[in-house]
């Protein structure tokens, strides 16, 4: 089956200047950096992009900046992380008017909705917004889990083309993939178990640490998709120190600290987040350079 979106899609952070304003030049440079590294898409305004901390105007500025930098060559799939329909549709329509063709839309939260209510929500969003939808399930942030049968029901919606599953429940993910993998693209957000999700039918992932090592993530994906699971797991294991550091404090503070180390960004995050601690910055200084150096060791997978 051909999927519109698959591979390594990088959740890019939103860089701020010292006054909390968008550092558009840094964002443009990073989108081009990801495109040059072969990212299959960039995903601004996810959790990594601090969607929930920004104004509607700031969000739209991020989207237009990414679209201009990507220049039609690399898909830009903005997140919609609003808790409910009105704000979600307003932001989505603005992003589509700016040129976005696909959106990553989180499950409605705060309401503690029923599974039927979740289906109603995405049906209403789909009726209101002319864009491809990648469902976004992340129970540890929203408190909302999708039953595997709900995933299958949502996969029947015309505009739903994928799901980003940030859910470490492998039994649930396996059942959802059995039902929906031939209808929509299963994308994992669980960096911790990425090879296993691929072995279960995921066709890629929306990843934060691929801001730093996109080629190594693409190599893990390539190995897993070729059935070379032991090699995929071994290569993934070499990323473990970086993955653990990037999620040692609330995302995206660590990834921003790592990018600051490389001269690619700034450490600033918006409340309630706090910049990475001095101890974590020291830990990243010991992990990031070596991880970046290993990017050149996987080029043979793509020759």
Q: By C-alpha distance, which of 93, 42, 97, 48 is closest to 72?
A: 42
Residue of closest CB approach to ligand LZUJQKHR = 46
Task: Rank residues 231 and 249 by Cβ distance to ligand LZUJQKHR and give the closer one.
Answer: 249
Report whether the peptide linkage leading into residue 272 is cis, meaning its omega lies within 30 degrees of zero: yes
Residue found under tokens 């040692």:
248
| Catalytic residue (one of 5, 136, 148, 215) | 136
Tokens of 124: 């209403």
Distances (CA, A) of 208 to 10, 68, 251, 277: 6, 21, 9, 19
Query: Within 13 A of 79's CA, how many CA atoms are on the CB side?
Result: 29
The distance of closest approach from Cβ of residue 129 to ligand LZUJQKHR in the complex, given in angstroms and rounded to an integer, is 19
- Report the length, in residues, of the chain: 303
The distance of closest approach from Cβ of residue 302 to ligand LZUJQKHR in the complex, given in angstroms and rounded to an integer, is 23
Task: Rank residues 163 and 166 by Cβ distance to ligand LZUJQKHR and give the closer one.
Answer: 166
Residues 153 and 43: their CA atoms lie apart, in Å, by 25
| Catalytic residue (one of 5, 148, 164, 215) | 164
Instruction: Confirm whether residue 74 is marked as ligand binding.
Output: no
Residues that bind ligand LZUJQKHR (CB under 6 A): 11, 43, 46-49, 141, 166, 189, 191, 206-208, 251
Asked if 164 is an active-site residue, the reply is yes
The distance of closest approach from Cβ of residue 300 to ligand LZUJQKHR in the complex, given in angstroms and rounded to an integer, is 27
Task: Rank residues 129 and 166 by Cβ distance to ligand LZUJQKHR and give the closer one.
Answer: 166
Residue found under tokens 């999620």:
247
Instruction: Confirm whether residue 48 is marked as ligand binding.
Output: yes
Q: Annotated catalytic sites, by residue?
A: 136, 164
């Amino acid at each position: 089956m051909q999927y519109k979106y698959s591979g390594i899609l990088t959740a890019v952070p939103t860089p701020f200047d010292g006054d909390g304003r968008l550092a558009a030049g840094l964002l443009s440079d990073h989108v081009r950096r990801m495109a040059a590294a072969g990212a299959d898409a960039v995903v601004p305004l996810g959790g990594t992009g601090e969607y929930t901390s920004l104004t509607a105007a700031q969000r739209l500025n991020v989207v237009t900046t990414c679209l201009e930098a990507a220049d039609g060559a690399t898909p830009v799939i903005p997140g919609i992380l609003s808790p409910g329909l009105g704000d979600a549709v307003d932001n989505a329509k603005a992003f589509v008017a700016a040129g976005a063709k696909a959106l990553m839309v989180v499950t409605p939260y705060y309401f503690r909705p029923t599974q039927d209510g979740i289906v109603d929500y995405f049906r209403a969003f789909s009726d209101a917004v002319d864009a491809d939808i990648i469902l976004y399930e992340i129970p540890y942030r929203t408190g909302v889990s999708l039953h595997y049968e709900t995933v299958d029901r949502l996969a029947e919606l015309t505009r739903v083309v994928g799901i980003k599953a940030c859910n470490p429940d492998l039994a649930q993910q396996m059942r959802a993939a059995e039902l929906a993998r031939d209808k929509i693209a299963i994308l994992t957000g669980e960096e911790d178990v990425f090879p296993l999700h691929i072995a279960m039918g995921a066709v890629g992932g929306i990843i934060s640490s691929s801001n730093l090592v996109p080629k190594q993530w693409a190599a893990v994906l390539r190995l897993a998709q070729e059935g070379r699971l032991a090699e995929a797991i071994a290569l993934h294991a070499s990323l473990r120190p970086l993955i653990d550091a990037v999620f040692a404090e609330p995302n995206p503070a660590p990834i921003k600290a790592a990018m600051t180390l490389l001269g690619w960004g700034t450490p600033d995050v918006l409340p309630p987040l706090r910049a990475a601690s001095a101890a974590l910055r020291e830990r990243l200084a010991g992990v990031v350079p070596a991880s970046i150096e290993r990017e050149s060791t996987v080029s043979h997978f793509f020759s």
